[in-house]
Amino acid sequence: MQDAVLAMLAKQPAHGYHLHALLRRALGPLGESMNRGQIYVTLSRAERAGLVVCERTEGLPERPERKVYALTAAGHQRVAAWLAEVGRPKPDLAEFHLKLFAAAAARLADPVELVAAQRRELLRRLREAHQAALAEPAGSGAGLLLEGVVLRLQADLRWLESCERAWSTVDDEAEDG
C-alpha cells in the first residue's frame, strides 16, 4: 500500500482524497472495499519516515484543508526501488497491477519490461515449486499445498500474457485527472 501511494505521488503532488480516488479508479470494483482512512495513515507514516513532505498551500489561507503531499528525494528512490524489484514474498495481483499503472503514469519504467521481469520470476518460482513437490512424499499435506501454488502460478502466468497484450498497445492512456 505504502509503495502504491508513493508511486501515485511520483507524477505530481496530491492530497489524500485525490490519491484515494486514483487508487479506486485504478482498481475498479476491487477497490471499492478500500478504506479511506488508510490513505491518511499511510501518508502520515510516510511523512514520519521522510518519504513525503506536506505543503498545505491549497485552499484559502485561513482554511488550510487539503493537505498536499509531495515526494522527497528519498521517496523517489523508494518508488524507483519498488518498480525495480520483482518477486516479493507476497505476490499480489493488485499490487503488480498498480505497479504497471504507476510506471506508465509517471513514465518511470516500461510496463512491458515489468511484465517480462515478472514472468521470469514466476517461471523461476514455478520451477522451484515443481522441484519442491518432487521432494515431498506422495499424499503429504505439503505436497498438496505445493500443487495449489503451482496452479496459481500457472494462472498468474496466463494473466501476465493478457497484461502484455494490453500494455503493449497502450501508449498514452494513463491519464491522471
* Binding residue for a second copy, selected from 35, 60, 134, 158, defined by CB under 8 A: 158
From DNA, a second copy, none, interface partner of 41 (C-beta below 5 to 8 A by class)? DNA
* Binding residue for DNA, selected from 65, 85, 128, 147, defined by CB under 7 A: 65
* Binding residue for a second copy, selected from 12, 57, 140, 168, defined by CB under 8 A: 140
* Binding residue for DNA, selected from 16, 114, 153, 156, defined by CB under 7 A: 16
Burial 118-152 (b: 16+ CB within 10 A, else e): bbebbeebbeebeeebeeeeeeeeeeeebeebbee
CB of 169 to DNA, least distance (A): 30
For residue 55, the cross-strand partners are 68
- DSSP structure class, residue 161: H
Residue carrying C-alpha cell 504497471: 100
Spatial CA neighbour of 6 closest among 64, 94, 71: 71
Cell of 154: 500457472
Does 139 participate in binding a second copy (rule CB under 8 A)? yes
Residue carrying C-alpha cell 520470476: 121
Does 156 participate in binding a second copy (rule CB under 8 A)? yes
The site that binds DNA (CB under 7 A) totals a number of residues, namely: 27
Residues from 82 through 141 that contact DNA (CB under 7 A): 89
Burial 7-20 (b: 16+ CB within 10 A, else e): bbbbbebbbbebbb
From DNA, a second copy, none, interface partner of 118 (C-beta below 5 to 8 A by class)? none
Enumerate binding residues for a second copy (CB under 8 A).
Answer: 25-31, 33, 89, 93-94, 97, 100-101, 132, 135-136, 139-149, 151-152, 154-156, 158-159, 162-163, 166
